[in-house]
């Protein structure tokens, strides 16, 4: 409170200058060595939300108009104004870009709580998959794409009432309850894969079986989530042939990453295990006789994936591979068949698979046999074989 600065505490030379502050009775409880080492716990720590939070300052100061400190004109001339202009332009560009992505995300048929957590790559990935799904459904509905093009609403977002959703389901011969019931009783999830292996659509109940959500999978490649040993099997089932519109049935087994633990909890993708899935469906393709490569992007694999109560290791340790001629007679067999079934590879050479197949699997084996000859594509098959006594 001394007006003369030369006589204030810590400024008087005869009192020891700053040493007078350390020895003063008011500061007797302060450990100056710990204070210098920043080890003293402050008695009060202000709460701030951001680095620029000014809630701890009186509003009499925060409401004042800011006044710039007068600056030397010579220094102002030396400042590079192009950097400031470039920063403002980049800031404006980022703001416009964020607005475009926000408008684009609002057009996606997702819940608002999911939209709030989407980054820009996810918005692009889901938008592309959504457009491809609409194109696929338009092809299946027979000309609905032309009706959508004549829609005066255009690409603008519009609310869809419950009555309109029910009308769409009725056009497909379904009700809302039946649509939900199909997914429940199928004990699996729906998967639509493009000819390049991209997951165009996954039903929202996929998290019930493999832990990963619909948003996490759509738009990604199936090869990124499938077991490396199953990539060749997936590639063979995505292959099409012919000169006309084909619908070839598919029936195979693959392993997919699962983040579900045995207790039903969800773990990290890096700690994911493998879930064995039985995939059944058909390949829908519009193949042109003029250019096959241009039509490959319009072919899709529609699958119903059902988890099997089978450890993924059993697919390797409890299975064997074999080769057959056109009448399904063994031409080669893996040596593991002896440990699994008791047959030696030499005993099976020339023997028909129909003689060893279980009676209940005969019709399924015949169907896969016919599909193999008509489509010229390989497919896996799980059958029960009689074991010798």
Indicate whether 167 pLDDT > 70.
no
The answer to whether 306 touches 322, Cβ cutoff 8 Å, is no
pLDDT tens sequence across 302-335:
888 888 776 655 555 666 767 788 888 888 787 7
CA distances from 253 to 97, 220, 275, 307, 330 (A): 43, 20, 10, 10, 21
Which residues contact residue 151 at a Cβ distance below 8 angstroms, ignoring those fewer than 6 apart? Answer: none
**What whole-number distance in Å separates Cα of residue 98 and Cα of residue 119?**
10
CATH number of 161-317: 3.30.450.20
Average pLDDT for residues 80-84, to the nearest whole number? 72
| pLDDT tens, position by position, 254-288 | 889 998 887 778 888 888 888 888 888 888 765 43
| Token pair in block for residue 356 | 């060893």
Residue 371 pLDDT greater than 80, yes or no: no
Closest CA to 318 of 260, 382, 379: 382
Contacts of 93 (CB under 8 A, 6+ apart): none
Is 80 exceeded by the pLDDT of residue 184? no
* Residue ranges, CATH 3.30.450.20, the chain: 161-317, 319-389
In angstroms, rounded to a whole number, what is the distance separating the alpha carbons of residues 84 and 92? 12
pLDDT of 23 above 60: yes
Q: Treating both helix axes as pointing N-terminal to C-terminal, what angle do 162-171 and 176-185 enclose, rounded to 10 degrees?
A: 70
Tell me the pLDDT tens digit for each residue of 83-130: 777 888 888 888 898 888 888 888 888 777 777 788 888 888 888 888
User: Buried (b) or exposed (e) across 58-90, using 16+ Cβ within 10 A?
Assistant: eeeeeeeeeeeeeeeeeeeeeeeeeeeeeeeee
Q: Residue 25 is encoded by which pair of tokens?
A: 């009775």
Q: Which of 320, 355, 313, 354 is nearest to 339 (CA)?
A: 320
Q: Long-range pairs for 300-303 at CB < 8 Å and ≥24 separation?
A: 300/136, 300/192, 300/193, 300/194, 300/195, 300/200, 301/192, 301/193, 301/194, 301/195, 301/237, 301/238, 301/250, 302/190, 302/191, 302/192, 303/190, 303/191, 303/192, 303/193, 303/250, 303/279
**Residue 304 to residue 183: CA distance in whole angstroms:** 10
Q: Give the CA radius of gyration of the chain.
A: 35
Domain 319-389 has CATH 2.30.30.90: no
- The per-residue pLDDT of the chain, averaged, comes to 75
Inter-residue contact 223 to 363 (CB < 8 Å): no
pTM beyond 0.85, yes or no? no
Backbone dihedral angles phi then psi of residue 266, each to the nearest 5 degrees: -105, 130
Is the pLDDT at 26 greater than 70, yes or no? yes
Please name the helix (run of DSSP H) or strand (run of DSSP E) that holds residue 324, with its range, or none: strand 322-324
pLDDT, tens digit (0-9, with 9 covering 90-100), for 205-256: 888 888 888 888 998 999 999 999 889 888 888 887 654 445 577 878 888 9
DSSP 137-148: HHHHTTSHHHHH
Q: Tokens representing 72?
A: 């030397």
What pLDDT is recorded for position 332?
A: 77
Find out whether 285 and 299 touch, Cβ atoms under 8 Å: yes
For residue 201, give the nearest of 116, 109, 294, 308 by alpha carbon: 109
Of 243 and 54, the one with more pLDDT: 54
């Amino acid at each position: 409170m001394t007006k003369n600065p030369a006589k204030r505490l810590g400024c008087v030379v005869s009192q020891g200058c700053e040493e007078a502050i350390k020895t003063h009775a008011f500061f007797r409880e302060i450990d100056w060595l710990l204070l210098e080492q920043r080890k003293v716990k402050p008695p009060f720590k202000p709460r701030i939300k951001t680095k620029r939070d000014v809630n701890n300052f009186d509003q009499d100061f925060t409401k004042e108009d800011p006044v710039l400190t007068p600056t030397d004109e010579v220094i102002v001339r030396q400042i590079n104004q192009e950097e400031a202009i470039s920063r403002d332009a980049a800031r404006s560009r980022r703001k416009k870009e964020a607005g475009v992505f926000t408008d684009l995300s609002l057009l996606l048929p997702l819940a608002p709580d999911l939209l709030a957590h989407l980054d820009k790559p996810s918005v692009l990935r889901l938008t592309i998959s959504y457009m491809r799904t609409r194109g696929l459904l338009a092809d299946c509905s027979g000309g609905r794409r032309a009706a959508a093009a004549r829609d005066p609403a255009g690409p603008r977002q519009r609310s869809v009432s419950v009555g309109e959703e029910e009308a769409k389901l009725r056009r497909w011969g379904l009700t809302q309850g039946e649509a939900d019931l199909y997914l429940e009783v199928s004990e699996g999830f729906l998967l639509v894969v493009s000819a390049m292996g991209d997951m165009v659509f996954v039903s929202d109940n996929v998290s019930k079986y493999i832990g990963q959500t619909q948003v996490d999978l759509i738009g990604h490649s199936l090869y990124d989530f499938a077991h490396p040993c199953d990539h060749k099997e997936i590639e063979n089932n995505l292959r099409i042939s012919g000169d006309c519109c084909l619908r070839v049935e598919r029936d195979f087994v693959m392993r997919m990453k699962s983040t579900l633990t045995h207790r039903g909890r969800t773990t990290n993708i890096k700690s994911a295990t493998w879930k064995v899935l039985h995939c059944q469906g058909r390949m829908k393709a519009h193949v042109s006789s003029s250019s096959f490569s241009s039509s490959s992007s319009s072919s899709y694999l529609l699958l119903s994936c059902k988890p099997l109560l089978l450890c993924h290791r059993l697919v390797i340790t409890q299975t064997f591979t074999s080769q057959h001629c056109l009448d399904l007679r063994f031409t080669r067999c893996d040596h593991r068949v002896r440990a699994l079934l008791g047959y030696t590879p030499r005993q099976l050479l020339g023997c028909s698979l129909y003689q060893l197949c279980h009676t209940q699997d005969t019709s399924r084996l015949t169907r896969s046999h016919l599909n193999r000859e008509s489509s010229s594509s390989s497919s896996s098959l799980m059958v029960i074989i009689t074991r010798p006594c």
